[in-house]
Every structure is written in C-alpha cells, then in structure tokens.
Structure 1
Amino acid sequence: MDEHSGAESGKLAEGAYRSVLGDIIRCVLPGGTVIQERKLAQALGVSRSPMRDALNRLEGEGLLVRLTERLLTVRVITLEDYLHSLDVRALIEPQAASLATPRVMDEELERIDATLRAIEAADAPTREQHWAFDELLHGTLADRSGNPFLAKTIREMRRYTEIFERQTVPARISPGAADHRALVDALRERRPERVKSAMATHIRNVRKRTLAGF
C-alpha cells in the first residue's frame, strides 16, 4: 500500500468510526445490538477493511463487546456504569474546568453563551439542542484544560453518561439549564474557583436528577 492509499484508508476508517460512534451515542444502535460489519460497511459505502478498523477502535474504547471471535455487540451501559462514570467526572472535570477558565477564547465563550441563550429563550427546546450545547460546553472546557489526558478521559466518561441518559432518563425540559447558566456566568467572569465549584455542583445535580427518576 502506497502512502496515498494508506492515507485514504485511514480517512475512510476515521469516517466509519465517527459514524458508528454517533449512532451508538444517539442510540440508533442501542445497547445489545449485534454489529453487522458487512451491513454497516455497505450503508456507508466503504469496504470492510476500514469498517473493521473502526469497529476494532470502538471495541478498544469499550463501546463494543466481543461475545465470540466473530460476534460484536454494542455495550449495554448499566446504572452502575453510569454512576461510575459520573464519579470519575466528579473527580477530574471540575479541575479541568478551572484550568480551562483563562484559556477559553472570547469567541468560544460568545458562542457558548449565545447557544445557551437560544435554549433559554425557546418555548420547548429539544433534547438534541440540549445535547449539542452540552457537548459544546463540556467539550470546550475539556479541550481548553491544556491537559490532553484529562480531555480524553472526560470525553470517554461523558459518552457513557450521555448514552445512559438518552436510553433511560425521561425527557426533561432544558435539563441542567440552571447549572449551565451558573457555569457560563462564572466563565464570563474568568473566575476559576467559581467555575470549578459550578462544575462540581452540576455533576452532583446530574446524579441526583437521574437517581430521582428510579
């Protein structure tokens, strides 16, 4: 394989990875679904080789589970998995948010604030609006922490919480909107300790709201 074809194969594998990952997170492929490599490859118009690379990557990240040599299924995220992921987030995400506070660019903060204001102004914001904002806020803070290990772990743990909530938690109007507003206001003031406290409170409230539904 020459350099050009290798780069193209890597691009196809990355695209397949992002597509399947998105379907898992949005519960298009819910927990327990048997993965059909050939069918997924055909749906995306790629060969089985890049799709296999993508599935191997997702298996390595714990989102796919191998039952036999040839049988892969989407991991079922249990309440225990969910609570464990929140525990990890509670340990590291407030610190990451604090580190990110002086590093978030003004234009990023404006986009975050404008997106939240649109949700606050909507009569009936959709869950997709909520999840898009959630990714924007938490993803930006994780990336701007300056620590790639923190960012990677936060993103992985957030996948578990999002999958579980999408599958299990009843739809709510603007879930966590007040928490998010407190976070954004603290960011606007560039106060790391306040941002850290607001993030810790937010994660505690996420846990409380979810357990209250069981």
Structure 2
Amino acid sequence: MSETHDSDASLSDEVYKAMLRDILATRLPGGHPVQQRRLAEHYQVSRSPMRHAISRLEGEGLLIRNGKAGLVVRIVTLKDYLDSLTMRELLEPQAASLAAVNSDNDALGALRSDFAALCEDAAPDPETVWAFDHALHGYIAARSGNPFMNSVIGEMRRYTTIFERQLPVVRAKPGMQEHGEVLEALENRDADTARDAMNRHLRVVREGVMRNY
C-alpha cells in the first residue's frame, strides 16, 4: 500500500479496509496487540492514516482496550456469537423476504455465476467461499430497502464471521445447499420461500457451529 499521490483520508480508508479484512479472516486474531508502528510498517503507511484506521475500528468495537495489554483485537466469544446470530435470525429472514420482491437482476446474475463456479470447484479457495457468502448476505441486507436493517445485519455478520472462521473444524464449502435455496427463491421473487430458506440456513449454521465448538 503506497502513500504516493493519495490523500491521508484515502489511505486511512484503504488501511481500514485491509485491517477489517484481516480481522474478519482471523489473520489478525482475537487478543492480538494493536501496535501502531508495527501495523504501519506492515500495511506500508505512515502513522497518521494508521491512527485514523485504528480509531475507526475501535469505534466499531472490533478493537478494544484490555487493561495492561492496551489496545487489542476483540475476542469474539461463544456468547457474542450466539447473541449476534440470534439478531441475524430475527432480521435476515425478513430481509430475504423483502429482497425477493426488490430484486436486482444484474446482481443476482453475478451471484448465480459465482455460485455455479463454487459448485464446480471441489476444493475452492476459502477466501473465494467467504467472498461469495459476504456478497449474497450483503445483497440481501441491501435489497431489503431498510438501511437500519442493512446496518445491523452487517454488524452482526462481522462477529459471526470472525467466530466461524476461528473454529478448528470448518467445512470447505459451508452453507452451499442452503445458499442455493436462498438464491433460487430470490431469483423466483418468492418472498415466503426466501424467508423460509434463510431461516433454515441460519438454523443449520447454528447447529453446525455448536457441533464443532
């Protein structure tokens, strides 16, 4: 990441996104100390944009103050996970129902193409799998048409993603069958089926995590 020809604001946003990706992928694991100088060297930026990115992540609750340890990456506990998943279970089925009648054909076409490629790949890159997961759930939250629902679902998915990705046992292609059912319901503009499919998906997710915890 280079500072050349970029403003501090732009660099701050870039390093924020890079750190967020690393936290969600658990490359910056829970409990990891946040040392501004070392992180600035790692992301190849100066202290100023690094400081702003850290402040933003702290404000979002992904970095926390931990007594003598100072600022660290938040550890997502089982309780955090279950509380976040409960919120998703309350909101995402309704979001899927709304998204089904407020569809974007171009976006759905891109999702279908990505899903088909994952289905054909016996051993896909985990980052590709999670990128599709993020894209599908992000599409549903955004197409709900409710910005508050979109915001809360996005925040809760951060915590559930971190927790699931830190599990010692993770399926190569988690949720593919249920994702296919949700996607088909969205393509058919079937609100009731989309709601039911999302309910089923989140139930399967919960059951799978509890088996592997």
> TM-score, normalising length from structure 2?
0.92
Cα deviation per residue 1:172-209 (whole Å; 9 max; x = unaligned)? 13211110111011111101111111111111110011
Cα deviation per residue 1:88-117 (whole Å; 9 max; x = unaligned)? 000011111111122221111111111111
Write the mapping of 1:111-150 to structure 2, written as runs, cut at 5 A.
Answer: 111-150=110-149
One-letter amino acid of the structure 1 residue matched with residue 94 of structure 2: Q
Alignment gaps of 5+ in structure 1:
1-6
Q: Quote the offset at 1:125 in angstroms.
A: 2.6
Q: Which residue of 1 aligns with 2:17?
A: 18
Cα deviation per residue 1:97-156 (whole Å; 9 max; x = unaligned)? 111122221111111111111111112233222201101100111111111111111111
> Matches of 2:100 and 2:161 in 1, distance apart?
24
> Matches of 1:22 and 1:174 in 2, distance apart?
19
Q: Which residue of 2 aligns with 1:32?
A: 31
One-letter amino acid of the structure 2 residue matched with residue 163 of structure 1: I
One-letter amino acid of the structure 2 residue matched with residue 45 of structure 1: Q
> Matches of 1:120 and 1:177 in 2, distance apart?
8
> Matches of 1:42 and 1:161 in 2, distance apart?
29
Cα deviation per residue 1:18-75 (whole Å; 9 max; x = unaligned)? 1111111111110110011111112223221221111111111111111249921001
Contact (CA 8 Å) 2:96, 2:186: kept in 1 or not? no
Alignment gaps of 5+ in structure 2:
1-5
Write the mapping of 1:148-167 to structure 2, written as runs, cut at 5 A.
Answer: 148-167=147-166
Deviation beyond 3 Å, 4+ runs, structure 1 = none
Q: Which residue of 1 aligns with 2:86?
A: 87
RMSD between aligned residues:
1.7
> TM-score, normalising length from structure 1?
0.91
Identity %: 45
Write the mapping of 1:47-66 to structure 2, written as runs, cut at 5 A.
Answer: 47-66=46-65
One-letter amino acid of the structure 2 residue matched with residue 23 of structure 1: D
> Matches of 1:101 and 1:169 in 2, distance apart?
35
Contact (CA 8 Å) 1:127, 1:171: kept in 2 or not? no
> Matches of 1:168 and 1:51 in 2, distance apart?
29
For the residue of structure 2 that corresponds to 1:168, the secondary structure is coil
> Matches of 2:11 and 2:123 in 1, distance apart?
38
Q: Which residue of 2 aligns with 1:97?
A: 96
Q: Which residue of 1 aligns with 2:3?
A: none
